[in-house]
Amino acid sequence: MINAFLQAINRHVVAESTNLQATYDAKHIFNVRAGSDIDNGKLVNLDDMAWVDNEYFTMVEPTATSRVGLILSVPIGADERPKAATYEYNFYNGKDEIMRVYDLLVGDKFTVSENGITKITSGSGASATTTELAKGQYIVADGYDLKAQAAKPAATVGFYGEIVDVITRTNGKFYKIFVRKNG
């Protein structure tokens, strides 16, 4: 039964803390309760989170002008069999679980798998075309998601980054994002 499950599951986003200032001396890492099932590599609105009890906050969806944090929990789960059940692309943060959220600072770098970024689409309907993700494209918050765009975002945008490296691995493409603005 587990094999059928693994074949049918969509791969979840894989994210890495390539070089985040928050990882030094555990600065600005928040415990946030997941309001719904959500992958690592997604964003949370830091300014509107509400303090709950026991040292955690509520999860709030970012707007275009929000200061954001990166969801990046340690992908540890039950020791399941087969081994494929423990692969990182099967990991996500379940509803009501406490997850780690890192405050993103200008100059931080993080890496996200290809399925964690919405590609640039032009046109609509049957004539719509999608541009592959590439070095030099900008990344903005689109709700909880990361979205690529070709032009530098407007000054009113709260968060944006830039793809500075494309990494090809045996398990897919990954994109290193350099944080240019947050807040």
Q: What is the pLDDT of residues 89-110, one digit of tens each?
A: 878 899 999 999 999 999 999 9
Amino acid 79: pLDDT: 60
Structure token digits, residue 13: 């986003």
Residue whose structure tokens are 């099967």: 90
Structure token digits, residue 82: 């087969």
Whether residue 74 contacts residue 24, with contact meaning beta carbons closer than 8 Å, is answered with no
Interatomic CA distance for residues 66 and 106, integer angstroms: 14
Q: Per-residue pLDDT averaged across 25-49, rounded?
A: 92
Number of compact structural domains in the chain:
1
Confidence of residue 165 (pLDDT cuts 50, 70, 90): very high
What values do phi and psi take at 182, rounded to 5?
Answer: -155, 105
- pLDDT of 86 higher than 80: no
Domain carrying residue 101? 2-182
Amino acid 3: pLDDT: 43
Cβ contacts of 8 within 8 Å, gap of 6 or more: none
Amino acid 118: pLDDT: 95
